[in-house]
Structure 1
Amino acid sequence: MSEIAAPVAAAALVDDVDRHRLWRRFRRSRLALPSLIVLAVLVVVAVFAPLVAPHDPNAQDYDALLAPPSSSHWFGTDSIGRDIFSRVVFGSRASLLVGAGAVLVAFVGGLVIGLAAGYLGRWADEALMRVMDAGQAFPGLILSFALTAALGPSITTVAFGVGIVAVPTVARVVRGQVLVVRELDYVSAARVLGLRDTVLVVRHIFPNVVGPAIIQGIILMSSAILTEAALSFLGLGIQPPTPSWGALMRDGYNSLADAPWISMSAGAAIFLSVLAINFVGEGLRESVVDP
């Protein structure tokens, strides 16, 4: 083995050992691994919704209005005869897309702001963090309402509005990590060697702060799903006839006494997905923090 290849192979071996160690720590949690399986099933259901759903989610069966759960309609039907199970399955697409989009917006925005504030310090840190404080001063749900109402209701605008609200949280996590990493010996040595700031941040600081940002983003995904459901319930989120869990909750609210299965089905889907995401995020956090 050449002198150049040996360090590369050693680094790859260390990375492989670290991945196995993190996986063992993750499996220690009794709820993290089952939650990961549940989350994977939800993703598969969302991707293959046309194959999973037994009916067209917008097809109307006027012979089965507000029909209770049965062999032909597993979760019953709504007031115009649409199959609730099919709408829950297709609604997972909207909810997970909004959650993933919001996390992407929050992750990118928070990462850039947190890196700049933590590394530059002084006036840049003060100015950026005061802006983040101003953003966090507004109630997140109200700010999401305002942004979505201003931009117009759609999956893209809902994801953007929810993501913008979460940027300050990610930015503060990243900034705190940067403040620690930038004082480490290897960063100081790289600075003494004359590395440019951009190279120093990209090669030495970014890899050490991206992990906590990803974990925070995963946990924020549950908040994004809940916010989307609230927006759709109030008519400011994803618009009919596109199925979404929040819209199902709103439809079921008007028939709660006669057809509780509508709201219960959507509520159970929201509860299960949010719980699974939170347990996966906590499991990842514990696997990184625990010795």
Structure 2
Amino acid sequence: MKVLVTGATGFIGSNLIEALYCNEELTVIAVSRHQVPHSGVETLVINEPWEEYSWVQTLKGVDVVVHLAGISVESRESDQTFEDVNIKLTRAVFTAAQDAGVKRFIYLSSVKACTEYTSAGQVLSEADPCQPKSPYGSSKYKAELVLEATRSSAIDLIIVRPPLVYGAGVQGNFSALARLASLRMPLPIGSLRSPRSMIYIGNLVNFIEACISFKSSINEVFYVSDGHDLSIAELVAMMRASNSRRACLISVPPALISIIARVLGREEDVARLTYPLQISSERAKKVLGWTPPFNTAEAIRSSI
């Protein structure tokens, strides 16, 4: 089976390429703006604007496309850039995939295509309506709608909506929390107890592999997580415990934390981490028989 991966040098892409390379039944093509540092993988470096690239010839003979390329949530890009990359590029690759006879298209979306947070006790499922709250989330949801509207019956479409993805080498909020946890001082985050779903990179890669290898025809949207939701206080405590340290967390009113974040210009970043956001992976388990192979404690230990 021939698998083509876009965004192959990003955090998720590089981990996926490493795993796919170990599968002797697969021929892997990595597409990126940079050379993939893996001698055993065929690499296609595209320097021109990807949405203008002629994809059909590249995709001929490919069985599965895993489309990871996109502007990330941490990016400060304009709304137009989100649209050009996350929507127009996705449309271009998917249209070419159908024209080239690709059998399955796996699109990495985000939980943010649906929302940024849930109410207390609410657990999102694929049946819940989407109401994205940010330009990034809106661009991912619009891309999903484009895929569903233009899909022919000849191609399988799998849309994956992960929450925060973490692992060794990741940047963004998880990395910032790891740095915070490493400080040898008490931290005023003991009151941040809203549970949030996350997924370890090893679990996400394993899920994508399950999507690639699934034998039956499939057209689904999936939420996937570790299945062990943590609050910020619990996550930092677990990070410190991984280094044999006590949690040392002080409870400060969340409203005060929000005020400090506003003064520092980080209100949006703090809100993304402190509001509840829980998702259910039951559909992935029911349809694919998938359960995460790595437990949260060992995953966090290997990530910091």
Query: Shorter-chain TM-score: which interval?
Result: under 0.3
Instruction: Decide which structure has greater helix share.
Output: 1
| TM-score, normalization by structure 1 | 0.24
Higher RCO, Cα 8 Å, sep 6+? 1
